[in-house]
Chains A and B, each alone.
Chain A
């Protein structure tokens, strides 16, 4: 007669393996999953801060207007009132952070104006557009228009 228990010994071995497996899983998970994972959801909470911490390149209007109040006033009176400074002048957070050290390059009016104002059939009809070659074949747009308030001067 076979000894009692012989037919479930293999189950005990398997249960042992199972316990070892679960322990290894819990241990590895504890080691490998960052502590802040799952604070807000299925992601690392620190990722929010990583995304916040990148450097700002465009200073934003408010920063420009803080010093350049005179230009802001001229612009506010004309049709460029709602055009952001950095739309034409480019990214200038470096200048805003160090006004004397970093000097911005003055944009070339002709090149800058035509980016928006070149006539195109695809543009909204109400937007002021010209064919540069017909409108003013030579010279700078700034010869006739003040760039910050584009009414004819």
Chain B
């Protein structure tokens, strides 16, 4: 056979690598967790999240977990996820009082009850992973984008730090990381969900107020959630195609 040393080594190497990765995949299949196999196909998924406001207790565990998992700076106003407390006069939905000291990182101090008519609740917030993201539309260099599996991601090595997307996001989900001078935001724990894990916030939420959802998976509980609850997304009038489905979202929430 007419084969030189270079092509022989190349072909053997390829064969070895392919066998090794197939073996790793098979190991995961045998362990009953085929989703952990390193052959993640982005187009098989469409990620979103179900958030149940009626279950949120404002403990801030998600905020702390997110900062730990994603190495978010421990500074005020820098969050990938945060929790807001709404205090609303039921007759005046247009003027809610919102507080979110340190994004709910330390939980919420007890509020004095000045008026028993007021209603109060917590709203966990994060990037809405819009299907038609305003932030993606304004990025001048393609450093932020919607991935094929419906996650809005940032290319940190490509971001100029121009802050255009920070202004464009109608939900205030973006900030500039002072260490890299590039934009940062919730990545829906892309490094976890592509390995078959759930996000850090969903993993640690003690009441199940938030759960990661794969809308392309017919067995995902999101379909029952969407059917059984009256759900709403934030700022539907902006037609962002948000995939954060809130149950119990009050009309006063911005």
Which A residues are within 8 Å of any B CB, using their own CB?
Answer: 37, 40-44, 47-48, 50-58, 60-62, 82-84, 86-88, 90-91, 115-116, 118-124, 127
Is B231 an interface position by the 8 A CB rule? no
The verdict on A123 contacting B57 (CB below 8 Å), with A43-B142, A47-B155, A58-B65 known, is yes
Contacts of A43 in B (CB 8 A): 142-145, 155, 158
Is B208 an interface position by the 8 A CB rule? yes
With A and B bound together, what is the CA distance between A54 and B69 in angstroms? 10
Interface pairs (24), CB distance under 8 Å: A41-B145, A42-B145, A44-B158, A47-B143, A48-B153, A53-B191, A54-B70, A56-B69, A56-B191, A57-B69, A58-B68, A58-B197, A58-B200, A58-B203, A84-B206, A86-B65, A87-B203, A87-B206, A121-B113, A121-B120, A122-B108, A122-B120, A123-B58, A124-B55
Is the Cβ of A51 less than 8 Å from the Cβ of B204? Answer: no
Is B121 an interface position by the 8 A CB rule? yes
With A and B bound together, what is the CA distance between A116 and B64 in angstroms? 14
With A and B bound together, what is the CA distance between A52 and B56 in angstroms? 29
| Other-chain residue from A42, A62, A84 in contact with B142 (beta carbon distance below 8 A) | A42
Is the Cβ of A120 less than 8 Å from the Cβ of B145? Answer: no
A56, A86, A87 — most chain B CB neighbours (10 Å): A87
Contacts of A44 in B (CB 8 A): 142, 155, 157-158
With A and B bound together, what is the CA distance between A123 and B122 in angstroms? 8
With A and B bound together, what is the CA distance between A52 and B192 in angstroms? 7
Which B residues are within 8 Å of any A CB, using their own CB?
Answer: 33, 40, 42, 54-61, 65, 68-70, 85, 87, 107-108, 110-111, 113, 120-122, 142-148, 153-158, 187, 190-192, 194-195, 197-198, 200, 203-208
Is the Cβ of B57 less than 8 Å from the Cβ of A124? Answer: yes
With A and B bound together, what is the CA distance between A83 and B59 in angstroms? 13
Is the Cβ of B122 less than 8 Å from the Cβ of A122? Answer: yes
Closest 4 CB pairs of A and B: A47-B155, A43-B145, A122-B120, A54-B191
Contacts of B207 in A (CB 8 A): 116, 127
Q: Chain A contact residues: over half helix, strand or loop, or mixed?
A: loop
| Other-chain residue from B60, B155, B194, B204 in contact with A86 (beta carbon distance below 8 A) | B204
| Other-chain residue from B59, B108, B153, B200 in contact with A47 (beta carbon distance below 8 A) | B153
With A and B bound together, what is the CA distance between A8 and B87 in angstroms? 75
Closest to B53 in A: A124
Contacts of A41 in B (CB 8 A): 142, 145-146
Contacts of B195 in A (CB 8 A): 52, 56
Contacts of B190 in A (CB 8 A): 48, 51-52
With A and B bound together, what is the CA distance between A118 and B107 in angstroms? 10
Contacts of B197 in A (CB 8 A): 56, 58, 60
Contacts of A90 in B (CB 8 A): 68
Given A43-B145, A61-B203, A120-B110, 14 further pairs, Cβ under 8 A: A44-B158, A47-B158, A51-B154, A52-B40, A56-B195, A58-B69, A62-B33, A82-B208, A84-B203, A87-B204, A90-B68, A91-B69, A116-B206, A124-B54
Contacts of B54 in A (CB 8 A): 124
With A and B bound together, what is the CA distance between A129 and B147 in angstroms? 41
Is the Cβ of A58 less than 8 Å from the Cβ of B142? Answer: no
Contacts of B146 in A (CB 8 A): 41
Closest to A125 in B: B54
CB distance from A106 to the nearest CB of B (A): 17
| Other-chain residue from B33, B191, B206 in contact with A83 (beta carbon distance below 8 A) | B206
